[in-house]
């Protein structure tokens, strides 16, 4: 019987191993954006979004719900770029934005396009990575696992997935990645309870349906 060498076994194991968190973040962070909804009175809010194809940014509806000017910031530039809402659904809590000058944004920031994964294939206990913008901070990464699939909260008709990674105000609308660097959920809400908090996200297959309906 022939035996595989230790060196060859090591090569096989490395080749089959999942990407590290750092490699995933390096790959996908240029596809995430900070969204600022400026109301013109010195107030407003921030949220997170991600680029799913050329000049198409996904976020939560509640991030852009107030009638103000919307600006996008890239991790590769401190310049802000004005955007407009081309679709919004309050019930699903998703919105789609387009930049008014995508060509300038693309030339100056070299954005990445992130891939939508199959949320139905993501199982409880699998690793997930969150990129978002907690208020007062930017491009913050947290890591955890998929805690539960298919939660229904209150009267909302949609099902949400539950994660144990930290979600903060400002993370809303941001991507949650699997170990292959695919978006499998969209940060949606945090429910604080005594002793801790719970993070909930919109499954990527619902995002795909919204994108298909818009097209």
The pLDDT tens digits of the residues spanning 46-76 come to 899 999 999 999 999 999 988 789 999 999 9
3-state SS, 120-151, equals HHCCCCCEEEEEECCCCCCCEEEEEEEEEEEE
Residue 46 to residue 169: CA distance in whole angstroms = 8
Q: Give the active site residues.
A: 62, 93, 172
Does residue 16 surpass a pLDDT of 80? Answer: no
Residue 15 to residue 204: CA distance in whole angstroms = 27
pLDDT > 70 in the chain, percent = 87
- Of the two residues 2 and 147, the one the predictor is more confident about is 147
Give the tens place of pLDDT for each residue, 68-115.
899 999 999 889 999 999 999 999 999 999 999 999 999 999 999 999
Q: Is 12 helix (H, G, I), strand (E, B) or coil?
A: helix
Sign of CA dihedral 85, 117, 21, 8: negative
Does residue 185 surpass a pLDDT of 70? Answer: yes
Residue 67 to residue 59: CA distance in whole angstroms = 16
pTM of the model: 0.88
Average of per-residue pLDDT values in the chain: 87
Q: Is 40 left (phi over 0), alpha (psi -120 to 50) or beta?
A: left
Non-local (6+) Cβ contacts of 56 within 8 A are 96, 97, 98, 211
Residue 79 to residue 93: CA distance in whole angstroms = 27
């Amino acid at each position: 019987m022939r035996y595989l060498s230790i060196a060859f076994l090591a090569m096989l194991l490395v080749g089959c191993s999942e990407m590290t968190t750092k490699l995933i973040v390096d790959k996908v962070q240029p596809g995430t954006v900070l969204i600022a909804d400026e109301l013109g009175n010195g107030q407003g809010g921030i949220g997170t979004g991600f680029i799913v194809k050329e000049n198409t940014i996904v976020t939560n509806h509640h991030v852009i719900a107030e009638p103000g000017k919307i600006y996008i910031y890239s991790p590769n530039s401190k310049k802000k770029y004005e955007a407009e809402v081309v679709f919004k659904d309050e019930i699903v809590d998703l919105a789609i934005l387009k930049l008014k000058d995508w060509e300038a944004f693309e030339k100056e920031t070299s954005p990445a396009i992130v891939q939508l994964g199959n949320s139905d294939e993501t199982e409880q206990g699998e690793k997930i990575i969150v990129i978002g913008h907690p208020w007062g901070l930017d491009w913050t990464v947290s890591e955890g696992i998929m805690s539960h699939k298919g939660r229904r909260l209150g009267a909302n008709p949609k099902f949400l997935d539950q994660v144990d990674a930290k979600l903060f105000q400002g993370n809303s609308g941001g991507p949650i990645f699997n170990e292959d660097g695919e978006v499998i959920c969209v940060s949606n809400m945090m429910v604080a309870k005594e002793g801790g908090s719970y993070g909930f996200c919109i499954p990527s297959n619902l995002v795909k349906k919204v994108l298909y309906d818009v097209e």
